[in-house]
Structures are given as C-alpha cells and as structure tokens.
Structure 1
Amino acid sequence: MSHKKYNLGKSIEEEFFSLIAIHASIEDFQLAYFINKNCNTRFKRKHNLFSSHLKKEINALVWENSWDEETFWYLFSNKYESSKTMTTNNPGLLFENENQMDLYIIPELKQVDYFIKIPNNNNNNNFYTKKNKRTS
C-alpha cells in the first residue's frame, strides 16, 4: 500500500496576512477535502481572489470563518495556465498558433503548488495547532 506525503511548507508572514506554502501534486478540490477533513475548515468554491501580479481574478477555494463571518481564508494554486494566440503574417498558414504559458501567482516561489492566504488576526491558533500536530 502506497502512502502519499503532503508537506506544509514554511509560513510567510506579512503585516496583513500570512501565506502557508503547500507542496502537493493533487487537484485543488482533493487538497481542500483533505484540509477540511483534518483541520476543521470548510473550504468551498465561493468567489475568486484577485491577483495583483497577474492583474486578474484567479480561481480559489474560500473558507468563511464561523467565529466572525468576516474573515476569509483562500486556498489557491500557485500555477496559472494562460494561452496566447500568436498571429503570423504568413498567408500560407491556415490556423493561428496558440501557445500555453505557465504563469505563477508568486513567481519567486515556483516550486510551491498551493498557498493558503490567512488574514492576520488572533483567531487562527486552532488551525496552526492542528497543522503542527499533523506534520510532526
């Protein structure tokens, strides 16, 4: 029987939010299920997250905390696929070329698969405690 190992990377602390880096080669809904099951969260698709780097909205799973109903946690993929259509001035071609590009929400951390964005407040201790118990 094979076991999969999921690694919760280091947290990145900012003034207004924290990012938890996750290395996992599974789909976002599978990761959300695993986190929901083990960390007492309820990530679900609700609304998207705006990326200032890409200047567009990206798909994200959102968890609205039950204790204040104003705090949202976001689970999102670092990798974003973008397609660009390249037109050439060659009249002999029937079709336009379409190139797939892999862009990253946080390009400095290309090796990270997913992030959880958590606003900085004092209500997040329960998640960190459960996370540390699972990774120990």
Structure 2
Amino acid sequence: MPVYSLEIDDFSDNDYALIGIHTTLEDYKLAFFLNQHLKTNFKRASYNLDFENKNYNSSFAVYENKNASQHFDWYLISNVFKTKIQSNTAGLFPESDTKVYLIPEKKRVDFFIKIDGEFDYEYIVKTVEAINKLPQVITSYSIETNTLKSKESLIF
C-alpha cells in the first residue's frame, strides 16, 4: 500500500501579497488615512490574531477591507504587541515592558497589509507608491513571503 505524506505547504494558501509599513501612527489612525487616500474601507475586524506563549499572551489588531467586486481582500495587521511581564524576582522593578512581534524577523515593520486574491505585481507596486505618498508613513515596501520564517502567523 502506498504511503502519502502531506507538507504544511499543502495546506497554506500563498496567493497573497505582503506590504510592510513603517509609521508612528496607531492602528486606527493608519486605517483612517489609508481609507482616505487609497479609497479603501478598512474596518476593525471582530477578531484579533491571538497567540499563547509560556510567558505571555499576545494579541495583534486586525482591520479588514473586503472587496468582492475586485476578487481580493485586504487585511491591515499590527506587527507589534506591547505587554508587561511580571518578574519572579523581588527587585526594584517587579514588571517590565516587552514588545512581542507577529513576524519577529521584521521587527522594524509596524504594520503589514496582506492582500488575498487575484492581483498582478504592478497593482502591488502602485499600492506601495500610494502608501508612500502619505505624509504619516515613513516608508512601505513589498515583502517576499517566501523569505519569512514565521509566515504561518499570517495564515488566518
């Protein structure tokens, strides 16, 4: 009898593009400016991306822009979660502020835009150019998803 094996890549959908955004804005303000300038309709999702660890739990904000007419969906995802961790030692500072990253290898990225669906590379280039025109955005650029070690965090 033949033996079949499945790889994790058999279940993942790589039909998405990823854009990294550097900005000092809060998530809701960035969603507002993107809606104004890109004519998107980002709304706060009813869920967060939640992860559990032995030391802490993290929750990353998600905004959705569903576009059935153009056959793709946009997601604005925070890359940074700030938390306080209690120290087990009785020192001067019993707790410390810690940052947890959704994609640890991209620590300098503040937000990601994940675009699911059918699109061409030129569309992504034009979108990055439009985002870079926002005065509140420091920079944005396309990210190759194949180079990310923790791309499983973006599957939802």
TM normalised by structure 2 equals: 0.58
**Aligned counterpart, 1:84:** 85
Equivalent residues of 1:76, 1:116 under 8 A apart:
yes
Counterparts of 1:78 and 1:103 in 2: how far apart (Å)?
Answer: 8
1:20, distance to aligned residue in structure 2 (A): 0.5
- How has the CA–CA distance of structure 1 residues 49 and 17 changed in structure 2, closer, same or farther, with 3 Å as cutoff? farther
Q: How many residue pairs were aligned?
A: 118
The structure, 1 or 2, with the larger RCO (C-alpha pairs under 8 Å, 6+ apart) is 2
TM normalised by structure 1 equals: 0.65
Letter in 2 for 1:75: L
1:25, distance to aligned residue in structure 2 (A): 0.9
| Residues 62-110 of structure 1: CA deviation (Å, up to 9, x unaligned) | 11114278x542112211112222234x6xx8xx922221111111111
- How has the CA–CA distance of structure 1 residues 121 and 52 changed in structure 2, closer, same or farther, with 3 Å as cutoff? farther
Counterparts of 1:133 and 1:60 in 2: how far apart (Å)?
Answer: 21
Among the aligned pairs, what percent are the same residue? 28
- How has the CA–CA distance of structure 1 residues 41 and 125 changed in structure 2, closer, same or farther, with 3 Å as cutoff? farther
| Higher alpha-carbon deviation: 50-59 or 35-44 | 50-59
Alignment partner of 1:65 out of 67, 74, 78: 67
Q: Provide the aligned C-alpha RMSD in A.
A: 3.5
Structure 2: segments with no counterpart, 5+ residues = 1-12, 134-156
Counterparts of 1:125 and 1:82 in 2: how far apart (Å)?
Answer: 38
**Aligned counterpart, 1:5:** none
Partner-residue secondary structure (3-state), 1:122 = coil
